[in-house]
C-alpha cells in the first residue's frame, strides 16, 4: 500500500554527463566540477535537476565518492568537454520528497521502513552489488543543488524497486 509520502516513478534510460569526485568532501567537489563545466553557459542552459549518488559509498570522514549526473535530453546538442558521458539505466523507483539537509536521513529511513513493510514492492539492487565498492543504486534528484541555506535544499530520494512476487 502506497503511503502519502511515497510515490512510484519510472525513469527512462538515457545518457548523462558525469561529474564524479573521490575525496573527503565528494559532494562539494563533484558539484564544483559541474559548476566549472557550466562556466558561461549558466544563462542559456537549464541544468537542474541534478541526479546524485554515492560512487562508492563510504563513512563520513573517510575518502568516498559522489557522482552528479546531468541527463541529456533528446535533441540537445552540446559540446562535451571535461565530462564523461555515461548510460543511466532508468527503472522503477520508490520516491519521497525531502526539504532541508537535516531531513535527509530521517526521510531515507522512513522510505526504507516503508519498503520493508509494503507487500507490493521490494528493493531491486543489482544482484552483483557490493556495498562500499560499487556505485550505490539509490539516487538523490536535487532541484536546488545551489541553495546556500541548507534548509532550502529540495530533493527527491529514489530507491530502485520491483513489484513483489
pLDDT digits (tens, 9 = 90+) for 54-100: 999 988 889 999 999 988 876 555 666 667 899 999 999 999 999 99
pLDDT digits (tens, 9 = 90+) for 21-46: 999 999 999 988 988 887 766 655 55
- Is cis: bond before 49, omega within 30 of 0? yes
Count of domains for the chain: 1
Q: What is the CATH number of the domain that holds 113?
A: 3.20.80.10
- Please give the Cα distance from 14 to 64 (Å, whole number): 25
Residue 41 domain flag: yes
Residue 1 domain flag: no
CA 77 to chain centre: 23
Amino acid at each position: 500500500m502506497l503511503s502519502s509520502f511515497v510515490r512510484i516513478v519510472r525513469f527512462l534510460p538515457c545518457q548523462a554527463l558525469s561529474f564524479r569526485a573521490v575525496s573527503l568532501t565528494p559532494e562539494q567537489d563533484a558539484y564544483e566540477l559541474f559548476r566549472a563545466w557550466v562556466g558561461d553557459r549558466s544563462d542559456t542552459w537549464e541544468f537542474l535537476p541534478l541526479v546524485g549518488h554515492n560512487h562508492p559509498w563510504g563513512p563520513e570522514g573517510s575518502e568516498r565518492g559522489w557522482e552528479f549526473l546531468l541527463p541529456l535530453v533528446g535533441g540537445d546538442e552540446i559540446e562535451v568537454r571535461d565530462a564523461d558521458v555515461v548510460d543511466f539505466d532508468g527503472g522503477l523507483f520508490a520516491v519521497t520528497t525531502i526539504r532541508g539537509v537535516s531531513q535527509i536521513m530521517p526521510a531515507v529511513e522512513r522510505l526504507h521502513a516503508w519498503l520493508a513493510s509494503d507487500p507490493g514492492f521490494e528493493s531491486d539492487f543489482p544482484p552483483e552489488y557490493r556495498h562500499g565498492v560499487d556505485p550505490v543504486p539509490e539516487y538523490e534528484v536535487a532541484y536546488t543543488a545551489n541553495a546556500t541555506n541548507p534548509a532550502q535544499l529540495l530533493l527527491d530520494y529514489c530507491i530502485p524497486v520491483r513489484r513483489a512476487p
